[in-house]
Amino acid sequence: MKRIATFVKSYKWMWPLIPAIGLIAVFFVLPMIHLFRLSFLKYDPNQIYLPIYTLENFVKFFGDIYFWNMIWVTIKVGLLTTVGVIVLGYPVAYYLTQCYGIERTLLTVGFLMSLFVTMLVTTLGWAILFLPYGLIQQFLEMFGLIAGRLQFIKTVTALVIVLIHIHLPYAILILAASIQAVPEEKMQAARMLGAPNYKVFLNIMIPLTMPGIVSSTTLIFMLAVSSYLVPVLITGYSVRVLPIAIWSYTSELLNWPFAAAISVVLFVITAVGTYLFLVVTNWMTKRGQWEMV
C-alpha cells in the first residue's frame, strides 16, 4: 500500500496531463486502432463487414492502376500546394518580421481574420470566381483574352490555387516566428563578408529558419492531402483524390473495409513522407550537431 502511495505521489505532476491524454486516447488512438483493424476485415454487402481477417482490400487497391493514379494525383496536389504556400508565404513572413507598430498589428490581424472565415465560405467564393461564365471568365473576355466556355473549374490547377489560398495564413504565422528567431546580425555579417542578397538567403536564412519551414511544410502537406471539402466543391469527381474516394466508399458504396484501407494508405503516405522530409532536411542542415548562438 505504501509503495503504491509513493508511486502515486511521485507521478503527481502528471495529473494536469490526464484530460488531454484521455481525450487523445478515446477520440484518436482508439478510432485509429479500429480503423486499422477494419482495413483488414472482409467486406460484406449485407453486414458491411464480417469478422474475417483478409488482405483483399489492399490487394484490390494496389492491384488497380486507377488507385495508383489517385495516389499520384493526391501527392501532386499536396506537393504543389505546399511548394506554393512556402514560396508565396516566406517573403510575406519576412516582411512581417521587418515592419513595426500599427502596420505589423494590422497585417497579423489580417492573417488571423482570414482564419475566422470558415473554409466553406472561402471555397464557395472561389467556386463562383471559377464558374463557367463566372467572374474570371467575364473579366478575361472583357479584354478579349479568351472566347467561349472556360475550362478551369474542374482542374488540378484550380484545386491547388484554392488550397494555397486557404493554407497560406498558417504558413505565414509559423514562418514569421522562425524568421523572427534569426538575429538580424547574422544577415548583416554575411553581407559584410561579401554575400549578395540571394546567397544570404540561401546560405543563412534557409538553414537557420529550417525548423519553421519543416513544421509549416509538414502541416500544409498533411492538410492538403487530407482535404476533402475543397476538392468536392471545386473539382467534384473530375479530379480524383484519396479523401474523395474514402468518402465515396464510406457513404455511397458502404464498403467500410475498403474505405479503411484507403485511409490507412493515406495515413502511411503522410507519415512516411513527413518522416523522410525531416530526415533529409536534418541531414542537409546538420541539425542536432549545432545549437543557435
Partner 1 sequence: MIREFVLETILQIKGLKKSFGAQQVLKSLNLEIRKGEVVTLLGPSGCGKTTTLHIAAGLLKADAGEIFLRGAPVGHLPPQKRKVGMVFQRYALFPHMTVYENVAFGLRMMKMPSEQIRKEVYDILDVVRLPDVTHKFPSQLSGGMQQRIAFARALVMKPDILLLDEPFSNLDEKLRREMELETRRIQQAVNITTLFVTHNQEEAFVMSNRVAVMNAGQIVRIDSPREIYRDPGSRFVCSFLGDANYLEGRVTGVESDTIFIRVNDLLLEATSSSAVREGGQVAVAIRPERIKISKNESRDARNVFNGVISDVIFKGASLSYRIKVGEIVFDVDKYSQEDDLFMVNDSVYLKFDKEAVLILQIDN
Q: Can you give the binding site for partner 1, defined by CB under 8 A?
A: 183, 185-186, 188-196, 199, 203-204, 207-208, 285-286, 289-293
C-alpha cell recorded at residue 236? 467534384
One-letter amino acid identity for 162?
A: V
Let me know if 63 is exposed, middle or buried by CB neighbors in 10 A (0-12, 13-18, 19+). exposed
Minimum distance from residue 91 beta carbon to partner 1 (Å): 20
Minimum distance from residue 108 beta carbon to partner 1 (Å): 22
Q: How far apart are CA 211 and CA 217, in angstroms?
A: 10
Distance of CA 150 to the CA centre of its chain: 29
Q: Which is nearer to partner 1, 116 or 290 (CB)?
A: 290
Q: Which is nearer to partner 1, 16 or 196 (CB)?
A: 196
State whether residue 290 is helix, strand or coil: strand
Which of 68, 40, 35 has the alpha carbon at shortest distance from 52?
Answer: 40
Q: Which is nearer to partner 1, 2 or 286 (CB)?
A: 286
Q: Which is nearer to partner 1, 151 or 289 (CB)?
A: 289
Minimum distance from residue 213 beta carbon to partner 1 (Å): 13
Q: Which is nearer to partner 1, 10 or 289 (CB)?
A: 289
Q: How far apart are CA 43 and CA 52, in angstroms?
A: 9
* 8-state DSSP, 250: I
Q: How far apart are CA 86 and CA 84, in angstroms?
A: 6
Let me know if 95 is exposed, middle or buried by CB neighbors in 10 A (0-12, 13-18, 19+). middle
Q: Which is nearer to partner 1, 99 or 254 (CB)?
A: 99
Let me know if 74 is exposed, middle or buried by CB neighbors in 10 A (0-12, 13-18, 19+). buried
Backbone angles phi, psi at 212, to 5 degrees: -70, -40
Minimum distance from residue 98 beta carbon to partner 1 (Å): 14
Is 256:105 a contact under the CB 8 Å cutoff?
A: no
Minimum distance from residue 36 beta carbon to partner 1 (Å): 39
Is 64:150 a contact under the CB 8 Å cutoff?
A: no
Minimum distance from residue 218 beta carbon to partner 1 (Å): 20
Minimum distance from residue 281 beta carbon to partner 1 (Å): 12
Q: Which is nearer to partner 1, 60 or 287 (CB)?
A: 287
Angle at 66 between CA 64 and CA 67, to 5 degrees: 75
Minimum distance from residue 109 beta carbon to partner 1 (Å): 23
Q: Which is nearer to partner 1, 138 or 203 (CB)?
A: 203
